[in-house]
Amino acid sequence: MSQFSPLSSLPPDALLGLMTAYREDARAEKYDLGVGVYKDDNGHTPVLTAVSKAEARMLEVQTTKVYEGPRGNVDFCAAIEDFVFGAGAAARTEGRTLSFTAPGGCGALSLGVGLMRRIGVKKVWVSNPTWPNHPKVVQSAGLGTADYRYADPVTGTADRAAMIEDLSKAERGDGVIVQGPCHNPTGIDLTIEDWRALGAFTKERGLVVMLDVAYHGFAHGLDADIAGVRAFLDAAGEAMISYSCSKNFGLYRERAGCFLALGETPEGIAAASTHVADISRATWSMPPAHGAGIVATILGDAALRAEWEAELTSMRERMISLRRALSGELVQRTGSNLLASLTTQNGMFSQLPVAPEGAKQLRETSGLYMPGSGRINIAGLNMKDIPRVAEIIATVI
Ligand SMILES: Cc1ncc(COP(=O)(O)O)c(C=O)c1O
């Protein structure tokens, strides 16, 4: 008997299966709206020029590959604190913040869930729908999950009342994960008022919140996109934040992420810091350096930073134009006002009112790939295909 015989195989990952099926589809006309990464007009996920230049510079000056220490790249940590809390935030000088380099946004989420566990959190609330890795990370840490309603299916906007009604059932000390800009999979974001109300509500209810920022700069711009997070932090006074540089720096495979926290007291943050270091030590021992080094190099140099911001702006503007064009075509073909909300949604993803059978039909009859949830990656489109893509999608709406 094999030592592995207690294991039975898990079902295959649906999204990876979809990617393979797309690659193997021999039809000349096919469209991949299932992929979870940014693509340019040629269907390519580029290395940003600011990134290539930063890498070249790093190679020139690098003299060692020795471990950086438990927090990883401290310049990177400071730069992400600038983004999240603000350069002059009083909480930073008061010792009420912490930051650790982590392997991607997902590594940062794991640190946060690990810290929740040590705080005594038993159950973590996630939005319905959410990025499937949220419940996976929580459950892998041995915690339970529950979900809260997030989006209004009729208007295609956030439903704060439903969200708060569901979170009212949470017990004091429960955890909550809330996504920052460009909610995955709906593209539906909270307003500043929503953020403020949610911060006050979670504080009053004693909920332990982690904000997941994975698409900073993909919605309206660096400042505008973090305003909701700051409004939440102002109202709540405490929170954890996971930050990913995978999308906004195009550093998917480098695993550049940051785990941050804001606390009411420096003592609380100092203690939390020792626990984050301990969890990090027991999980990957030391965080990866390369991606964080690239980000620190870019953000620490005015010219590289300007170049990166311009590239980020062009990714964002491309997605906004595609949203407008797709929405216009779909509204015209289906008469559905819900599809007008594609233009008020943000980032790479939106969820179309397409049933799983509809998604299957699109794949089989028209070579258009999207998961059964109806989530589409706007960046997987290009302008010239939009009329045809809209024509195909309209057949199942
Ligand atoms: C909502 C959300 N959070 C976090 C991540 C983290 O990504 P990564 O671990 O690649 O940085 C993603 C990536 O798709 C995401 O969609």
Report the CATH number that the domain containing residue 341 is assigned in CATH: 3.90.1150.10
What's the 316 CA to ligand 1 centre distance in angstroms?
A: 17
Q: What burial letters (b/e) apply to 118-148, b meaning 16+ CB within 10 Å?
A: eeebebbbbbebbbbebbebbeebebebbeb
The model's pTM is 0.97
pLDDT for residue 270: 98
- Does one domain contain both 177 and 249? yes
- State residue 198's pLDDT score: 98
Inside any domain, residue 140: yes
Closest Cα to atom 7 of ligand 1: 105
Q: Do 76 and 42 share a domain, yes or no?
A: no
Ligand 1 atom at minimum distance from 105 CA: 11
Domain, as residue range, for 19? 14-47+314-394
Residue 302: enclosing H or E segment and its boundaries?
helix 302-334
- The answer to whether residues 356 and 221 belong to one domain is no
Domain boundary among 300, 329, 351: 300
Shared-domain flag, residues 191 and 321: no
Q: Are residues 209 and 319 in the same domain?
A: no
Residues 238 and 349 in one domain: no
- pLDDT score recorded for residue 47: 98
* All residues at 6 or more sequence positions from 312 whose CB lies less than 8 Å from its CB, including other chains: 217, 218, 222, 248
Ligand 1 centroid vs 51 CA: distance in angstroms?
A: 19
Atom 15 of ligand 1: nearest residue by CA position: 214
**pLDDT at residue number 337:** 83
Task: Say yes or no: 76 and 223 in one domain.
Answer: yes
Q: What is the pLDDT of residue 16?
A: 87
Closest C-alpha to 342, from 389, 383, 375: 375
Which one of 111, 133, 150, 213 would you pick to mutate in the ligand 1 pocket, going by the greatest count of ligand atoms within 8 A of its CB? Answer: 133
So what's the pLDDT on residue 35? 87
Residue 8 domain flag: no
State the Cα–Cα distance between residues 303 and 82, nearest whole angstrom: 18
- What integer pLDDT is reported at residue 60 of this predicted model? 97
Take atom 3 of ligand 1 and give the residue whose Cα is closest: 214
Are residue 234 and residue 343 in the same domain, yes or no?
A: no
- Ligand 1 atom nearest the C-alpha of 36 is 14
> The tokens of 372 are what?
């059964």
Q: Please indicate, yes or no, if residue 85 is contained in any of the structural domains.
A: yes
For residue 252, the model assigns a pLDDT of: 98
E strand intervals along the chain: 31-32, 97-103, 123-128, 144-149, 151-152, 157-158, 175-179, 208-213, 239-244, 256-262, 349-351, 368-369, 375-377
The answer to the question of residue 248 being in a domain is yes
Counting from 1 in the atom list of ligand 1, the atom nearest the Cα of 108 is 9
Which atom of ligand 1 is nearest to 242's Cα? 4
Report the catalytic residues: 131, 212, 214, 247
Residue type for position 88: G
Q: Is the dihedral of CA 185, 190, 195, 197 positive or negative?
A: negative
Domain identity same for 166 and 283: yes
Q: What angle do CA 152, 229, 278 make, to 5 degrees?
A: 115
Q: What residue has token string 């990617």? A: 19
Q: Is residue 229 part of a domain?
A: yes
Both 101 and 246 in one domain: the answer is yes
Q: What is the pLDDT of residue 295?
A: 99
Ligand 1, atom 13, residue with closest C-alpha: 214
Ligand 1 atom 12: residue of nearest CA: 214
Please check whether residue 308 lies inside any domain of the structure.
no
Q: pLDDT tens, position by position, for the chain (397 residues)?
A: 899 999 999 998 888 899 999 999 999 999 999 989 999 999 999 999 999 999 999 999 999 999 999 999 999 999 999 999 999 999 999 999 999 999 999 999 999 999 999 999 999 999 999 999 999 999 999 999 999 999 998 899 999 999 999 999 999 999 999 999 999 999 999 999 999 999 999 999 999 999 999 999 999 999 999 999 999 999 999 999 999 999 999 999 999 999 999 999 999 999 999 999 999 999 999 999 999 999 999 999 999 999 999 999 999 999 999 999 999 999 999 988 889 999 999 999 999 999 999 999 999 999 999 999 999 999 999 999 999 999 999 999 8
CATH number of domain containing 265: 3.40.640.10
In 3D space, the residue among 341, 319, 336, 343 whose CA is nearest the CA of residue 393 turns out to be: 336
Confirm whether 216 is domain-assigned: yes
Give the Å distance between the CA of 58 and the centre of ligand 1. 26
- Please state the domain count of the chain: 2
Atom in ligand 1 nearest the alpha carbon of residue 244? 11
Strand order of the sheet with strand 256-262?
97-103, 256-262, 239-244, 208-213, 175-179, 123-128, 144-149
CB-defined site of ligand 1, < 6 Å = 36, 104-106, 131, 179, 184, 212, 214, 244, 246, 252, 257
**Quick one: pLDDT at residue 15?**
86
Q: Whose CA is nearest to atom 6 of ligand 1?
A: 105
Residue with tokens 């998604």: 359
Looking at 300, 329, 353, the residue that finishes a domain is 300
Q: Supply the DSSP symbol for 149.
A: E
**239 and 322 together in one domain:** no
Residue 347 in domain? yes
Q: Which of 271, 300, 329 is the last residue of a domain?
A: 300
Specify whether 295 is located in the same domain as 201. Answer: yes
